[in-house]
Every structure is written in C-alpha cells, then in structure tokens.
C-alpha cells in the first residue's frame, strides 16, 4: 500500500472535521477583532484567541476520535483488515496526520494574533500559551489510544479527556511538594510537566499501535474491571495525597471588641486593640488584660490625650489608633509615641502645628511624658498632610510631608531632636509604573546618617512606596545575605525589584521577577492595589478583604506562592507574624439585618505559617 495514498485518504476523511474545528476555534478571535475594530481599538484579538487556544485540547481530542473512527468502526475495520496493509504503518500514519492537522488548526489563532500584533504594533500572547498546545498533543494521543480500544467516538473522547485531566492533576497529588501552579509548574518544574506530557503522549501512541495490531476491543467484561481498577487507584491516591496550598488553621476564637481590630508589637508580645496581650500556648489563643481596668489598657495611650483638646482645631493622629500603635518598653515602663498634626477648623485641611508626644502607661490621668514641636516640617502648607514614622532601636525617624526629623527616644520622658532634613523627599514619584520593569530606575536615599545604610535603604523605599501605609510596624523591603529587594502588589501580579547599587543620594533598582495572579485566584479576590503587603523573614504577605496569600521570596528570580487563607464574608483587618513564625490574624464579620439591626462579630485566628 502506497504511503501517499494513505495520506491522501486520511486527509479526505478528515477534511470536514478539520473545517468544523477551524470554524469553532477561529470564531471567537475574529469576533473579538471585529468588536475591537468597531470600538476603535484596532484589529486585536489576543484575549479571545487565548481562550480559544485554552479549549484547543478538546478539539484535538475530537480530531483524534474522528481520525480513528474513520477506519476502526465495524464495517471499515473489516474492509481495511482484508487488504494487505501494514497495521503499524497505517496507525502511525493516521496518528501523525491527525496530529499535524490538529496542530495546524491550533496554529491558526496563534498566527492570526501574531499577524494582528505585528500590523498594529500591539501586545501579543503571554508566555503561557505553549502549555495548552502541549496539553492538546497529550489529549490527542490519549483520545486516539482510547478510540482504538473503545471504538465509540463519544465514549473514547470522554475517557481520553478524563485521563488527560487526571494526568494534569496527578503531580499535585504525588509527594513532589508542588504548591503553586504558576511558579512550581510554569517556571520551576516545567521540565517535569513537559516530561509527563510527552511520556504520556508517547505511551498512548505505542499503546494504540499495539492495540490495533492485536485487535484489542474493549467490549463488556473488561469494563467493570477497569472501573474497579480506576476506583482503587483513585482511593489510593486520595489516601496518600495531602493538603497542598491552604494555610492550616490551628486555632479560631471569637472575641469581644468594637471598632477595627488591630495587632501591635510590644517587644516580644503582641497586643490586641491596645487592651489585651495575646498569648499562645499549645496552639491555643488566650487573652490577658494589659491593665487591671479592661476598658483602658494601652489603647488610650495610643489615642493619648483627647485629639480635640485644642479648641478650634482638628487633629490628625499617627499611628492611627484604630489601626495600631507605636509602643516602646523601657525597663518596666511602657510608652507610646504619637504624632499630632493640627489644622484649623476654619480653614479645613490647612495644617499649622505638628507635635511628637510620648505617653507613659500609668494610672495618671495626664500621662504625657514628653513633647517635641516638629512644625518646621510643614513647609508648603498644602491642603493635605503625609505622616510616617519608624522606630529603629532608640532612633525614631518621623517624616512629615517631604521632610524628616530624627529623634532620640532612648528616654521617652525626654524626647530629643538629633537631626532635621527639610524637603528631602520633594519631587519624588510615589508609585511604581509598569514601564519601570524594563529599565533601571532610581529612588532617593533619605540623608539620615544616624542609622545604618541598610535601614536607610529600607526606610527610603518604604517611605516612597508605602508613605501612607503602616511603615512603623512592617516593611516591603527584604534584606538577606547582603541582597536587598522590595516588592509591590497590583491587581495583575506581585513583583520583585532588586536594589542593584546605591550612592550618597540615590538607590538604583531593577525589576527581577513577577508572579501573576491566576484567574482562579482572582475569583476568590486576589490582593490588588488596595491590598496590604509586607515582607518578613523572606516571606511576602499580601492580604485584602477575604484573602491572605503568602509567598516565598528567598529565590532571586522567582516568587513562589506558599499558601492562601480565605474566609468568605470575613474582612481581614490585621496580621502579625509571631516569633515562632506562626501567624495571628484578626477578622471581622458583619451583617445588616434590617433598619438599625447590625450584627458584627470578630475573630482571632492562629495560623501555621506555610513552608
């Protein structure tokens, strides 16, 4: 039998299926391109083409089944078996002709998008497009092998798809410590997945050859045995698989509290809402009051004296007592450090005075320990004010608008100004642009010589990219083994920027890695621009609303997701990393049940930090 004749016959046999598949795969890209053209956004179709390519394994399987069924259904099978045909040659040719045909079909939207992006000079596909094409090859092979044995198009297609899905999930069930699809599979162990896909494809092809040669035909008796065998394998896998990426909850406790929950550090201990110490014993959360009177505690230290103590003025307080406090312990005495900025009630938003005050925890009704007037920072008298502060050992760096004040707080009873840098953060760009990822960019280095260079770099980056954030208790900068990196979160991804060098005035940074959020993570509310982000001990914590995500940032070129914690309808309010690495989390739950009926509950969670 001539090879060219077989090829011709196979192509003729498949032509209608190929045309149908081509129509199905191209309809969405063309539709999107037309919509974009009508909307005046050029002739673009990358999103729908990506979607079509995602579904290409289904079509590849369909082509495989049509290909096999063309010659292996009852009547045709008798016909060609009666010819002097080489079964192996025929099946090999069928396999590769169908494979090439399905790859050509899948290539059509790819070529369409590439051409569109060249002509209109726009963004093409992302780098993950090859994966569905590889999966399509596997799906084709599996469906081909199944149809050789089952010989019913629909059932073979379904069984092939089922085996394909199972193979894709299998690596996560085996003890390979895979946790993150984006990093583990797409970046770190793509070779493993590629091997699995190619080995399964090759095995399916060889199986198909052997089955066709020996005329294997799965009829009835063997089917029950296969069901039982598959069930047993599944149960075994379920027994040996374990939880992968969810963060384990060690303890959950409902607490009585009003307002927003906040956790603050006081030395080694964590304080909840400035009122209670949070202690952990055998993975149990226990609360003990800071003060004999549970209604006071440290919370009013954070508030200090009444914010509205000055008649005719409105005060802004930093740290916002609803979100935390800046505490310092000297001997047995506990102090809080608070910054007050006063603006006139008459000219709203025009700030006139700024004070740094320290308060001592005592039963004294007027516990103010010391006060420092830092109003010199108010240079421009603009209609808003930015305040930030960070305590580094006994040095408190206070930043107001574009100026910084360095204060010695070794003795909080006597605050002493050491240095003053006016307008050092003027004309700074306060956010990262996507374009920054393609070039080295510079960040101003805060000229404070009273702290070491690493802390200066950390402070500078935090001030610029988290000025409104709680930089007094956390940082987005990771310093490890002499390497300095910082992180940002957006709706699309979390990104890592390395500090490459610095001089007396500037820090030079360069983008090094990003970990995109998947569609599935987005469904549960991935932390976006409004999410809070911080780094501690080479782990990046991102949280917003209902979801916390923890990433491993110890590798230079990748950000690997370690785990997630989700609680629907709960709002994550604050998080603290304990000394032993465990996580303490505050959440609130609220429900409106009619006019004037508003139920609210608050919870504390102790979580295992994922490794």
Partner 1 sequence: MFRMLLWKEWRENLWKLWFCGAASIAFTAMLFRIRIVPDISNCMLISLVQMFVVPVVYSLDIFSGEMSNRTIHLLFKIPVRKWMIFFSKYIVTVIGILVIFLITGVLMEFMAHGREARVLYLFKTNLLFGLAGLALFTWFCAFGCQSRSEAGSLGAMFSVFIGWGIAYFWATICEVTWAALFVPYSLTELGADGIVVMIFLQSLVSVMVLVIAFYRYASIRRYL
- Three-class secondary structure of residue 22 per DSSP: helix
Nearer to partner 1, 135 or 476 (CB): 135
CB-based contacts of 231, cutoff 8 Å, min separation 6: none
- Three-class secondary structure of residue 38 per DSSP: helix
**Rounded least distance, CB 204 to partner 1, Å:** 19
Nearer to partner 1, 78 or 258 (CB): 78
Residues 128, 186 contacting (CB under 8 angstroms): yes
Q: Where do contacts with partner 1 occur on this chain (CB under 8 A)?
A: 17, 20, 24, 27-28, 31-32, 35, 62, 66, 153-155, 158, 161-162, 165-166, 169, 172-173, 179-181, 227, 234, 237-238, 241-246, 518, 520-521, 523-524, 547, 564, 566-569
What number of other Cβ atoms are within 10 A of residue 203's Cβ?
A: 13
In whole angstroms, give the CA distance from residue 213 to residue 351. Answer: 88
What number of other Cβ atoms are within 10 A of residue 327's Cβ?
A: 25
**Rounded least distance, CB 169 to partner 1, Å:** 6
Nearer to partner 1, 289 or 592 (CB): 592
Nearer to partner 1, 224 or 503 (CB): 224
**Rounded least distance, CB 555 to partner 1, Å:** 20
In whole angstroms, give the CA distance from residue 153 to residue 155. Answer: 6
CA 84: distance to chain centroid? 60
Nearer to partner 1, 140 or 300 (CB): 140
**Rounded least distance, CB 550 to partner 1, Å:** 13
**Rounded least distance, CB 149 to partner 1, Å:** 16
Using DSSP bridges, classify how beta strands 368-373 and 598-607 pair: parallel, antiparallel or unpaired.
Answer: unpaired
**Rounded least distance, CB 23 to partner 1, Å:** 9
Residue 65, Cβ density class (10 Å: 0-12 exposed, 13-18 middle, ≥19 buried): buried
Per-residue b or e along 415-447, where b marks 16 or more CB atoms closer than 10 Å to that residue's CB = beeeeebeebbeeeeeebeeebeeeebebbbbe
**Rounded least distance, CB 606 to partner 1, Å:** 16
Nearer to partner 1, 89 or 169 (CB): 169
**Rounded least distance, CB 52 to partner 1, Å:** 9
Nearer to partner 1, 23 or 309 (CB): 23
Nearer to partner 1, 187 or 245 (CB): 245
Q: Where are the alpha helices (DSSP H) in 425-565?
A: 453-465, 519-523
Nearer to partner 1, 25 or 443 (CB): 25
- Three-class secondary structure of residue 249 per DSSP: strand
Supply φ then ψ for residue 226, to 5 degrees: -65, -40
**Rounded least distance, CB 30 to partner 1, Å:** 10
**Strands of 351-474, DSSP E:** 351-360, 368-373, 387-392, 395-400, 403-408, 416-421, 441-444
Nearer to partner 1, 17 or 602 (CB): 17
Nearer to partner 1, 173 or 317 (CB): 173
Supply φ then ψ for residue 572, to 5 degrees: -75, 120
What number of other Cβ atoms are within 10 A of residue 194's Cβ?
A: 13
In whole angstroms, give the CA distance from residue 273 to residue 260. Answer: 8
> Which of 167, 139, 121 has its CA nearest to residue 62?
139
**Rounded least distance, CB 241 to partner 1, Å:** 6
**Rounded least distance, CB 209 to partner 1, Å:** 25
Tokens of 254: 């409902």
CA 567: distance to chain centroid? 16
């Amino acid at each position: 039998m001539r090879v060219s004749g077989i090829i011709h016959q196979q192509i003729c046999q498949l032509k209608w299926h190929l045309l149908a598949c081509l129509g199905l795969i191209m309809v969405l890209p063309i539709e999107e391109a037309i919509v974009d053209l009508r909307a005046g956004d050029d002739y673009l179709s990358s999103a729908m083409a990506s979607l079509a390519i995602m579904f290409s394994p289904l079509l590849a399987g369909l082509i495989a089944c049509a290909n096999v069924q063309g010659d292996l259904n009852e009547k045709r099978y008798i016909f060609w078996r009666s010819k002097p045909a080489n079964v192996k040659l025929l099946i090999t040719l069928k396999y590769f002709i169908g494979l090439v045909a399905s790859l050509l079909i899948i290539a059509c939207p790819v070529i369409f998008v590439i051409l569109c992006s060249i002509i209109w000079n726009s963004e093409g596909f992302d780098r993950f497009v090859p994966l569905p094409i590889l999966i399509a090859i596997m799906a084709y092979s599996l469906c081909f092998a199944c149809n050789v044995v089952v010989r019913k198009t629909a059932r073979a297609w379904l069984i092939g798809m089922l085996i394909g899905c199972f193979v894709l999930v299998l690596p996560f069930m085996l003890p390979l410590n895979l946790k993150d699809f984006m990093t583990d599979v797409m970046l770190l162990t793509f070779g493993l997945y590629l091997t699995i896909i190619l080995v399964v494809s090759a095995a399916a092809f060889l199986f198909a050859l052997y089955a066709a040669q020996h005329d294997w035909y799965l009829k009835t008796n063997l089917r029950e045995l296969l069901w039982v065998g598959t069930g047993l394998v599944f149960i075994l896998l379920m027994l040996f698989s374990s939880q992968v990426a969810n963060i384990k909850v060690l303890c959950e406790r409902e607490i009585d509290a009003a307002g927003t929950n906040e956790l603050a550090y006081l030395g080694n201990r964590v304080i909840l809402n400035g009122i209670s110490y949070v202690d952990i014993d055998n993975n149990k959360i226990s609360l003990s009051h800071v003060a004999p009177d549970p209604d006071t505690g440290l919370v009013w230290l954070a508030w200090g004296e009444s914010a509205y103590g000055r008649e005719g003025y409105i005060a802004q307080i930093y740290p916002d007592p609803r979100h935390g406090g800046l505490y310092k312990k000297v001997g047995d005495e506990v102090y809080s450090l608070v910054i007050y900025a006063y603006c006139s009630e008459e000219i709203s938003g025009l700030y006139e005075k700024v004070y740094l005050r320290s308060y001592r925890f005592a039963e004294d009704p007027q516990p103010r320990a010391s006060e420092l007037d830092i109003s010199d920072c108010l240079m421009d008298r603009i209609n808003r004010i930015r305040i930030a502060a960070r305590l580094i050992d006994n040095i408190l760096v206070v930043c107001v608008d574009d100026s910084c004040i360095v204060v010695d707080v070794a003795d909080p009873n006597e605050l002493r100004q050491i240095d003053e840098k006016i307008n050092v953060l003027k004309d700074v760009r306060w956010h990262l642009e996507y374009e920054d990822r393609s070039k080295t960019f510079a960040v101003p280095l805060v000229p404070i010589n009273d702290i070491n260079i690493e802390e200066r770099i950390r402070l500078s980056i935090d001030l610029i990219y988290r000025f409104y954030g709680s930089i007094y208790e956390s940082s987005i900068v990771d310093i490890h083994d002499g390497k300095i990196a910082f992180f940002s979160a957006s709706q699309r991804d979390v990104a890592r920027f390395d500090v490459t060098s610095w001089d007396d005035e500037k820090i030079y940074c360069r983008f090094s890695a990003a970990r995109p959020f998947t569609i599935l993570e987005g469904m549960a509310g991935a932390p976006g621009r409004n999410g809070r982000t911080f780094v501690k001990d080479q782990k990046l914590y991102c949280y917003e609303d209902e979801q916390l995500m923890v990433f491993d940032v110890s590798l230079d070129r990748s950000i690997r997701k370690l785990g997630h914690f989700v609680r629907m309808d709960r709002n994550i309010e604050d998080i603290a990393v304990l000394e032993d690495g465990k996580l303490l989390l505050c959440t609130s739950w609220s429900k409106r049940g009619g006019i004037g009926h508003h139920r609210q509950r608050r919870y504390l969670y102790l979580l295992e930090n994922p490794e």
